[in-house]
Structure 1
């Protein structure tokens, strides 16, 4: 896949019974070292899917860990056949999509996403928005960077809070917890508690918590 900062490959899947499909493969060997993030971004891609699943939010395309892939261990994510001319800034113009965008906003706050660009919100033919490219997430330090600030200060809907409360009370499921270190697990729990204590969408008083490029 061109224009990716790390090696990102579009691959064809072949099922044991003859079925085929497409996926995005991000091998560990193709990651550039980062000074401000631990090694192994592919694990965070899987963790984002597990968090979405734990919350009951169908936000992140199915993503699994594959240790025996052609270029070594990496994440494998179902390819979304989307309207690629659309992105967050065009989707925001349609108020019917705002509930989905609010959910992504809250998801990124919980996951501590540091790189939610506009192009990471994909609209499919069923008008479902998928949140992709989640590798820069779950840092133990608060590093939220996103383009989704339009809902800042609004109260979080009760139905979303109930999902966060369930995650907070039950704790991260094993499938998610095993992908994070103890400090990252504690930070995730602390962010969930903070959302429940002050149930409003985040505000950026600095105006600096944006990724680059925006799309």
Structure 2
């Protein structure tokens, strides 16, 4: 009798692993302002590290409805996927040991990648874009700059679409394969302009042809019968969805990266 045919294990996507796997809490990420738990998730013989942020651990904010930050993190992932840039790690909304929350694939950042710097002088060197001046002690100031990097430029466009109110340096994760991820998207999608970011280096400059193409695709899929609109509808309010459509339209009409309006502090604090 011949041996039975061995069936190879089924390939499980990261999103499926996060959504369906058994979630085990391993520790708490203490630097986070809201409850953020380091976990492992296991499903059909596969395991990965992840971050679980339960809704019950969210601190109330004056300008965002209570208990909505996890949904906004998932919404940011959905928009990122729709761009094709895949700038946000796989993220799902699921039940966990402390109730419903956001579960996101853990990304190990590259420790040596330099994306931000403080430099002397009035203008950045080649390969860098100016953000603004910062106090560095003893009455001295230095120029804060970020890398003139196409990955950051894409992320700046994504932030403009999702109205990210908290793009700090610590939320940038360079990873293997020349990848760059952005994390911590709980304060996004507000209907009012809340854009606060360190990525102002391209402010007022023309959008790239790639960005225009991506925004045109977003405009179509955000239509009332569009796939992205369908995915966002359970996660943000109808008013916030309309505001997202309007931001995409504004970017396409202007053809430029947004500039600070002066109505809202343009850089998050602390910036890193």
TM-score relative to the length of structure 2: 0.73
Give the structure 1 partner of residue 86 of structure 2: 58
- The unaligned stretches of length 5 or more in structure 1 are none
Once residues 133 and 84 of structure 1 are traced to their aligned partners in structure 2, the CA distance between those partners, rounded to angstroms, is: 19
Give the structure 2 partner of residue 82 of structure 1: 109
Q: What is the CA-CA distance between 1:201 and the residue it aligns to? A: 1.1
Once residues 112 and 59 of structure 2 are traced to their aligned partners in structure 1, the CA distance between those partners, rounded to angstroms, is: 28
- Pairs aligned (count): 212
Give the structure 2 partner of residue 127 of structure 1: 178
Pairs within 5 Å for 1:38-49:
38-39=65-66, 40-49=68-77
Once residues 156 and 193 of structure 2 are traced to their aligned partners in structure 1, the CA distance between those partners, rounded to angstroms, is: 15
Identify which of 163, 167, 179 aligns with 1:112: 163
Once residues 116 and 230 of structure 2 are traced to their aligned partners in structure 1, the CA distance between those partners, rounded to angstroms, is: 35
Q: What is the CA-CA distance between 1:158 and the residue it aligns to? A: 1.1
**Residue 50 of structure 2 corresponds to residue 32 of structure 1:** no
Contact 2:251 2:258 in 1 (8 A): no
Pairs within 5 Å for 1:43-192:
43-66=71-94, 68-84=95-111, 86=113, 88-90=115-117, 98-171=149-222, 172-192=228-248
**Residue 13 of structure 1: SS of its match in structure 2?**
strand
Structure having the larger proportion of residues in helix: 1
Q: What is the CA-CA distance between 1:94 and the residue it aligns to? A: 5.8
Give the structure 1 partner of residue 250 of structure 2: 194
- The unaligned stretches of length 5 or more in structure 2 are 1-28, 118-123, 129-146, 223-227
**Residue 126 of structure 1: SS of its match in structure 2?**
helix
Larger radius of gyration: 2
Once residues 94 and 42 of structure 1 are traced to their aligned partners in structure 2, the CA distance between those partners, rounded to angstroms, is: 35
TM-score relative to the length of structure 1: 0.92
**Residue 12 of structure 1: SS of its match in structure 2?**
strand
Give the structure 1 partner of residue 265 of structure 2: 208
Q: Deviations over 1:128-169 (max 9, x none)?
A: 110100110000111111111111121111111111111112
